[in-house]
Amino acid sequence: MKKIINDPSTVVAEALRGLAAAHGDLLRVHEDPAYVARADAPRRGKVALVSGGGSGHEPLHGGFVGLGMLDAACPGAVFTSPTPDQVQAAVEAVHGDAGVLLVVKNYTGDVLNFETAAELASAEGIDVRTVVIDDDVAVKDSTYTAGRRGVGGTVLLEKIVGAAAERGDDLDACEALARRVVANVRSLGMALTACTVPHVGEPTFTLAEDEMEIGIGIHGEPGRARVPLEPADGIVRRLVEGVVEDLPFVEGDRVLLFTNSMGGTPLVELYLAHGVAERLLAERGIRVERRLVGPYVTSLEMQGMSLTLLRLDDELTELWDAPVRTPALRWGV
């Protein structure tokens, strides 16, 4: 295993120290239990947005703490959901008496830990709501699975609902908006290589030199199917088709297209893939009105990408465009 770390068991704590040093103007890091909070939290009268999940997906979630996005993020161990006491402490630190919305990616661990935290915080008299995001079309959503995973759509949800909270929407409105985003966002990812979890020391799966994995998760877990490697046109076509046909997105839809790197894929490839996706969507008459391109929901050093489409309306577009000032997303301010 080749990593710039000291000890697998201190990776997250040490990275948080670096995050705090790098972005002291935007956020504060609390060490035990570990959470990242907006520097100016709590904001009285503002709905607080709190998220979290396993580490190793950076900049998700800590890189999205700041004005117009998250009030707090709770990082678990690498690829392991945080514990309820982290979430509870974060909620108590940042809530501004206007309620708290928990943004939870749909994994059994995250759901159970946030659920427990919500119970604890509610017992303290804080109005806590939970929205679960499950945008990954790779997973069959049925009573016979844990349901779809939350992946790339999480960033879009955090940005849009963060903007709503920032402009003063109340908890009901924020919760309803979050559900609207969930209802209109879909993602699909793929990997060329696996990643190595520090305490495991070897890749989570292996792919031959001529194979790729479609429908990959963001925790180094295998995906839906292993198929022969294809040129970018073929790869992106698979992702576009998977995403578009699921909702489905149809001719005339206005969308936000998010082309995401799993971490190890260089920007030159990502922009290339983004160009292909724009072309394929144009062919279907789907109008890309906003874009995000970069490594935002990653899986350590995994090479691969995902596509996320969000169906836009005027309000979602306005909230997407609204000012945001976080380590990883910043505009308008």
Ligand X SMILES: Nc1ncnc2c1ncn2[C@@H]1O[C@H](COP(=O)(O)OP(=O)(O)O)[C@@H](O)[C@H]1O
Note the residues at the interface with Mg ion (CB under 5 A). 80
Cα distances (Å, whole numbers) of residue 315 to 153, 162, 262, 333: 17, 13, 29, 19
> Residue 205: which of ligand X, Mg ion, other proteins, none does it interact with, CB under 5 to 8 A by kind?
other proteins
Task: Pick the catalytic residue from 23, 61, 95, 219.
Answer: 219
* 69-88 footprint of ligand X as x/- string (CB under 6 A): ------------x-------
In sequence order, the 6+-apart residues with CB closer than 8 A to the CB of 287 are 252, 253, 254, 255, 281
Cβ partners under 8 Å of residue 44, min gap 6: 96, 97
Is residue 219 annotated as a catalytic residue, yes or no? yes
Cα separations in angstroms, 327 against 22, 154, 277, 322: 9, 16, 27, 16
* Shorter beta-carbon distance to a second copy: residue 22 or 146: 22
Q: Shortest CA distance to 68 belongs to which of 160, 132, 153? A: 160
79 touches 302 (CB < 8 A): no
State whether residue 80 is helix, strand or coil.
Answer: coil
Does position 5 interact with other proteins (CB under 8 A)? The reply is no
Residue from 16, 23, 65, 83 in contact with other proteins (CB under 8 A): 83
Cβ 72 vs Cβ 89: under 8 Å: no
Q: Which stretches of the chain bind a second copy, using CB under 8 A?
A: 2-7, 11-12, 14-23, 55-56, 58-59, 63, 78, 192-193, 209, 212, 229, 231-233, 235-236, 259, 263-276, 278, 288, 291, 293, 295, 298, 300-301, 303, 305, 325, 330-331
Identify the sign of the CA torsion 294, 299, 304, 310.
Answer: negative
Q: Is 10 in the site for ligand X (CB under 6 A)?
A: no
Q: What is the smallest separation between the CB atom of 139 and other proteins, expressed in angstroms?
A: 5
String of contacts with other proteins for each residue 87-106, x by CB under 8 A: --------------------
CB 270 within 8 A of CB 305: yes
300 touches, from ligand X, Mg ion, a second copy, none (C-beta below 5 to 8 Å by class): a second copy
Rounded Cα–Cα distance for residues 152 and 149 (Å): 10
The residue within the footprint of other proteins, chosen from 48, 49, 77, 236 (CB under 8 A), is 77
Provide φ and ψ at 289, rounded to 5°.
Answer: -105, -20
Helix ranges restricted to H, the chain: 11-22, 84-94, 108-123, 153-167, 171-184, 232-244, 267-283, 314-321
Check binding of 304 to ligand X (CB under 6 A).
no
According to the binding rule CB under 8 A, does residue 222 interact with other proteins? Answer: yes
Residues of the shown chain interacting with other proteins in the complex, contacts defined by CB under 8 A: 9, 33, 54, 76-85, 107-109, 112-113, 115-116, 138-140, 144-146, 149, 197, 199-200, 204-205, 217, 219-222, 224
Residues of the shown chain interacting with ligand X in the complex, contacts defined by CB under 6 A: 81, 108-109
Catalytic residues: 57, 219
